């Protein structure tokens, strides 16, 4: 039975006991509303002897007009899914446990947050990096696991850990997709049955983009035009961005070379959905 704890002290004690028993510590930070994508992270984290999952809807990573209040919350359902997927400890703190009333210290990565979601969600990655660093200091994991659907988040956290000399490995885990290609996301819960069908244009467009790049297309403009055309074809989706960046630096690449990330953010009804594919531009293609 996975224990649910709400204080930093309880986490530290449980982790210390696991370490004393010779176990390595895996950590999966989440905001709850767990789905099969989180299960995949937990299954990967099972390479450690002790797996901690956090559930915390972090207020500091939401903008004033974003969905902090309506973000889906269901601790009981999350607990049973986390348990089935092998979590040993669930850390579900209240905001007051995480942030002192006078909290005034922030972690801000300055290079990789310039484009993609960073450009459209001011302060978002500052909130993410800060809460991740806090949780890393509380849990002290050997390894932390992040889904590659949020690729920029993964790279920002990885860079922050490197730059601030934290001793843990940040591991990216492939995006879990539904059978029809839609990337798993807690925000899919906002989609009506109809909107869910419209959203399928996202994986379709990314797949087409991957194919033309693999066949040798090297103009980012041609690729983004193709994606845009597919996304807007039904007149239901609103494109926030389509960007192609270097997979390591997250800088725009013109012409396409090396490993690139093709990433989109799209409004489908009220839901803002993001997705991406990684593509290798082979020189001989
Ligand atoms: O991806 C998420 O669920 C959140 O951004 C994270 C990493 C748990 C930080 O709040």
pLDDT, one tens digit per residue, over 124-159 is 999 999 999 999 999 999 999 999 999 999 999 999
Nearest to 281 by CA among 213, 201, 197: 213
> How many CA within 13 A on the CB side of residue 269?
14
The catalytic residue positions are: 38
Share of the chain above pLDDT 70, in %: 99
Quick check: 284 pLDDT over 80?
Answer: no
Quick check: 170 pLDDT over 80?
Answer: yes
Domain ranges of the chain: 3-173, 189-281
Reduced to 3 states (helix: H, G, I; strand: E, B; else coil), residue 242 is strand
User: The whole model's pTM is what?
Assistant: 0.97
Q: How far is the CA of 155 from the centre of ligand 1 (A)?
A: 13
- Assign a CATH topology to domain 3-173: Rossmann fold (3.40.50)
The CA distance from 246 to 197, in Å, is: 30
Nearest to 55 by CA among 6, 15, 11: 6
Quote the mean pLDDT of the chain. 97
Dmax over CA atoms of the chain, in Å, equals: 58
Q: How far is the CA of 29 from the centre of ligand 1 (A)?
A: 6
The CA R_g of the chain, rounded to the nearest whole Å, is 19
pLDDT tens sequence across 57-94 = 999 999 999 999 999 999 999 999 999 999 999 999 99
Quick check: 285 pLDDT over 70?
Answer: no
CATH of domain 189-281: 3.30.1300.10
Rounded to 10°, the helix 201-214/220-232 angle is: 160
Q: Whose CA is nearest to atom 1 of ligand 1?
A: 30
Quick check: 49 pLDDT over 90?
Answer: yes
Share of the chain above pLDDT 90, in %: 98
């Amino acid at each position: 039975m996975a224990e649910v704890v709400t204080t930093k002290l309880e986490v530290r004690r449980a982790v210390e006991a696991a370490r004393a028993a010779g176990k390595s510590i895996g950590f999966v930070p989440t905001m709850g509303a767990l789905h099969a994508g989180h299960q995949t992270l937990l299954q990967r984290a099972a390479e450690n002897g002790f797996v901690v999952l956090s559930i915390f809807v972090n207020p500091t990573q939401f903008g004033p007009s974003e969905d902090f209040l309506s973000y889906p919350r269901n601790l009981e359902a999350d607990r049973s899914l986390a348990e089935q997927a092998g979590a040993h400890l669930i850390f579900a703190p209240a905001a007051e446990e995480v942030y002192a009333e006078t909290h005034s210290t922030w972690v801000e990565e300055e290079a990789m947050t310039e484009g993609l979601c960073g450009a459209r969600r001011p302060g978002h990655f500052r909130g993410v990096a800060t809460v991740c660093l806090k949780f890393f200091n509380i849990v002290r994991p050997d390894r932390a696991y992040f889904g590659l659907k949020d690729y920029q988040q993964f790279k920002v956290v990885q860079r922050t850990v490197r730059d601030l000399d934290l001793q843990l490995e940040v591991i990216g885990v492939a995006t879990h997709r539904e059978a029809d290609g839609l990337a798993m996301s807690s925000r899919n819960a906002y989609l009506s049955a109809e909107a869910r069908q419209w959203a399928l244009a996202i994986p379709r467009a990314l797949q087409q983009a991957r194919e033309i790049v693999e066949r040798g297309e090297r103009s980012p403009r041609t690729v983004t035009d193709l994606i845009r055309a597919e996304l807007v074809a039904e007149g239901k989706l609103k494109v926030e961005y389509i960007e192609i960046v270097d997979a390591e630096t997250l800088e725009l690449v013109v012409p396409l070379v090396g490993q690139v990330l093709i990433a989109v953010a799209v409004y489908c009804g009220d839901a803002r959905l993001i997705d991406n594919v990684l593509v290798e531009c082979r020189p001989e293609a």
